[in-house]
Structure 1
Amino acid sequence: MTLEEFNALDEAAAAQALELCCVSQQWIEGMLRERPFANKSNLRNCAETVWNTLGRDDYLEAFEGHPKIGDVDSLKAKYAGSGNLAAHEQSGVAAATDDVIERLAAGNERYETRFGYIFIVCATGKSALEMCELLEQRLDNDPERELAIAAREQLKILQIRLEQWQ
Structure 2
Amino acid sequence: MSLTLAQFNTLSQEEAIARLLTCCTSSNWAHQLACARPFIDQNALLMKSDDIWHKLQTNEDDLLEAFDGHPQIGNVASLKEKYRNTQNSAAHEQSGANNAEDDVLEALAQGNQDYLDKFGFIFIVFATGKSAQQMLDLLLARLPNDRTTELTNAAAEQNKITRLRLNKLFGPA
Task: State the alpha-carbon separation in 1 of the partners of residues 87 and 144 from structure 2.
Answer: 35
2:104 aligned residue: 100
1:79 to partner: Cα distance: 4.5
Identity %: 49
Deviation at 1:75, TM superposition (A): 2.1
TM-score when normalising by structure 1: 0.96
1:149 aligns with 2:150: no
Match of 2:40 among 23, 32, 38: 38
CA contact (8 A) 1:79 1:86 kept: no
Task: Provide structure 2 residue ranges, at least 5 long, that are not aligned to the other structure.
Answer: none
Residue 80 (structure 1) shift: 3.8
Q: What is the deviation of 1:2?
A: 1.4
Q: Which residues of 2 match residues 1-166 of structure 1 at below 5 A?
A: 1-54=3-56, 55-82=59-86, 84-164=88-168, 165-166=170-171
Q: For the aligned residues, what is the CA RMSD?
A: 1.1
Question: Equivalents in 2 of 1:12, 1:30: separation in Å?
Answer: 12
C-alpha contact 1:79 1:85 (8 A) present in aligned 2: no
Could you tell me which runs of 5 or more consecutive residues in structure 1 were left unpaired when the two chains were aligned. none
Asked if the contact 2:119–2:147 (Cα under 8 Å) also holds between the matched residues in 1, the reply is yes
Which secondary structure does the structure 1 equivalent of 2:39 belong to? coil
- Rounded to whole Å, the distance in 2 between the matches of 1:152 and 1:83 is 21
